[in-house]
Structure 1
Amino acid sequence: MPEWIAVSRTQHAETNFWPRQGYNFAAQDQVIPILIAELTKLLPHYTLGFIQQGEGAHQRYQPVALTGLGGERNLYLHSDGRWLASYVPSVLRGYPFRMAKADNDQQVLAIEQDSLTDDPSAQPLFDDDGNLTEKVQQTLNFLTQCDNNRQVTQAASQRLGDTGLIEPWPLKLERGEGQEPLSVQGLYRINEKAMNELAAEAFADLRNHGALALAYAQLFSMSQLSQLTDRAKFHEKHHAKQADQAASRDIDSLLGGDEDDLTFDFGD
């Protein structure tokens, strides 16, 4: 498990860090948390769902993008660290940084400890004046905006759960001739029938809290289940060591462009 430590001007004034090189840190992630702000970017590439977190009064639903089929491999990750889609979920793009709660419950910038180094060829955290370098400040701004939208996203998910619209999703995927269907456990989805039967007042309440967009996005995204099977087939070919030229054609069909920047303008 990665260890995260708060970035400190006092402790890290002379410390450098290794920036992210690819996405191998997400190699075993089967689901990726998502934000409402990025729904339109996610829909062409991902199947969305919910996972349950916490218990009792602390139970909540986290909206996620599906990136695996219950095994150990993240199907959206190439063996060389490239992401196999033209849009990378925002939660991954800030690495090796993230926002974390300090002892006083304030959100602070944290960094994955193994990314810190004294190597002079790495990038500095702070400049000569003791301020965050431009790259680190840009990352902090991006993560702060993501964190603000995460609160909006959690509130919308809570509304959907409290309204009774989230149900277990017994997902089964066909795997081709001669293979048993694959069952994926622990996922939840929107109950479309229950949503269509909502009273006008309850429907308006979901709309006013941004929850409708999340609900419809999850329902529409279920048509993207083929994205998972396409990537599973790609990995099978890749590990079977087929010809490099054929593998190159396959990956080109999955990658498209490369949206890998630290901007929060998800609506374009």
Structure 2
Amino acid sequence: MPKQLLIYERAEPVSPQRHGDLAIRTGSNFSFASKVNSVPLMAAEFPHAAAEMAVVFAGQGDDIIPVVLLGVRDDENLFVGKDGAWQGNYVPAFLRRYPFVFSSSDDGDNFTLCVDEEFEGANREGRGERLFDNDGERTQYLQGVLGFLQAYQVQFQRTQAFTRRLSELGLLEPMQARFTLRNGSVLTLGGFQAVNREKLKALNGEQLAILNSQDELELLFLHLASLRHLTSTAERIGAGAEGESVATEEAPTAPETSPAKLDA
């Protein structure tokens, strides 16, 4: 399974032959995301996510994407409770589209709708919403799913253009965040990037005008402001966190303990 799929275990192309009697029962259980400490975030989601979560960047080269920080330790999502309930106000679209996802085998020219057959809400007993009717035609529910994923794909392309622009302008730099818990233990989170404020302020008028015309300057300010949530995210750990917990290193250094890595 490609790493970017993260939460998907067995995503299979949707077809009336294979899924003619398949039904999907969704609910408020997000246990499927309990082991990911970050997920991709689309540019359009910044205003919603940045209000309560840290928005950073992960990946290298052409594969850099914005991600939302959901935890500060490996295999831990601090926004999913023990009962699977989402403990936040905003749910990233990456998680809301589950158990569906688009796959592509031709460089993004064509997409195939897939469903994770291991999703606990997938069943053949008619519980929830069926994908196809008795004549093998798409149901209104499946049409809605397709519409949502098509809109997601459009936003993904816009987000790619946004991150490419940031790379071209040289605004991103590797960062680390260190957290001191009340029990005295230190956590280090690495593997992400953030915008360098000084480089942003050094852009010339033409560069700033381009960012502003694409509504991307606002996204950068939202990203920078969201970094204050690094501390509040760490405080979701049972013992809580204390002290200043911000990304202070300009580049990753060898930490005292092995750093957690972003999953996205």
Query: Shorter-chain-normalised TM-score: which range?
Result: 0.7 to 0.9
The match for 2:114 is 110
- TM-score norm. by structure 1 comes to 0.78
Question: How far 1:28 moved relative to its partner?
Answer: 1.0
SS in 2 for 1:75: coil
Unaligned runs of 5+ in 1: 237-268
TM superposition outliers: structure 1 runs of 4+ over 6 Å: none
* More divergent stretch after superposition (40-49 vs 16-25): 16-25
Q: How many residues align?
A: 231
CA 1:132–1:30 in 2, change beyond 3 Å: closer, same or farther? same
The residue that corresponds to 1:219 in the other structure is: 224
Structure having the higher helix fraction is 1
| TM-superposed deviation, 1:64 | 0.6
Match of 1:98 in 2: 101
Deviation digits for residues 142-183 of structure 1 (CA, Å, limit 9, x no counterpart): 12111111110111011101110000112112323x514321
The answer to which of 20-29 and 42-51 deviates more is: 20-29
Secondary structure at the residue paired with 2:21? coil
CA separation of 1:234/1:32 partners in 2, compared to 1, >3 Å: closer, same or farther? farther
Once the 2 structures are TM-superposed, how far is the Cα of residue 131 of structure 1 from its aligned partner? 2.7
What residue in structure 2 maps to residue 51 of structure 1?
58
Residue 85 (structure 2) aligned to one of 82, 86, 89: 82
User: Once the two structures are superposed, what CA deviation does each residue of 1:216-236 show, in whole Å capped at 9, x if it has no partner?
Assistant: 111010122233123113799
1:36 aligned partner: 43
* C-alpha distance in 2 between matches for 1:213 and 1:7: 38
Name which of 56, 62, 65 aligns with 1:62.
Answer: 65
* CA contact 1:157–1:211 (8 Å) conserved in 2: no
Taking structure 2 as the reference length, the TM-score comes to: 0.79
Q: Does 1:187 align with 2:205?
A: no
Secondary structure at 2:157's aligned position in 1?
helix
Structure 1 CA distance for aligned equivalents of residues 139 and 197 of structure 2: 48
8 Å contact kept, 1:20–1:95: no
Question: Residues of 1 paired with 2:55 and 2:152: CA distance?
Answer: 18
Tell me the C-alpha RMSD between the 2 structures: 2.3
